Amino acid sequence: MELKTRQVNDVTIIEIEGRFDTHTAPPVHELLQEAILEKPAYVVVNLEAVHFIDSTALSTLVAGMKRSRQVDGDLRLCNLQQPVRMIFELTRLDRAFEIFSSEVEAIEAFQEANT
């Protein structure tokens, strides 16, 4: 798995590539913790290059989403691939997260909320 992070205005983008599962979740967890310390805690996780996700990975994302919402931020998702989208639908996590079809839209949604 590969992890990249960058900053677009006040939004932290995290790009994950490869399997996102119990073995690869810990570094993502750490990155999210750091990103949430930023003010504001605006995080977008881009899942474009993730084709596999398991329950540990899901709980990592949920934990990040809950932490960021506690400090009036949010963790949003974009570019879910079909197998990943299926898991979100099956567990109804698609109702808990704000999910966007592109990174630009996810970032814009943060900016709009700000203005």
Please tell me the distance from the alpha carbon of residue 102 to that of residue 108, in angstroms, as a whole number: 10
Pairing state of beta strands 11-20 and 74-78?
A: unpaired
Cβ-contact 110, 74 below 8 angstroms: yes
Q: How far is the CB of 63 from another protein (least distance, A)?
A: 4
> Closest distance between another protein and the C-beta of residue 88, in Å?
10
Within 8 A by CB and 6+ apart from 101, the residues are 78, 79
Among the listed residues 59, 81, 98, 99, the single contact to another protein using CB under 8 A: 59
Binding to another protein (CB under 8 A): which residues in 19-38? 22
Interface residues with another protein (CB under 8 A)? 22, 52, 54-55, 58-59, 62-63, 66-67, 70, 89-93, 95-96
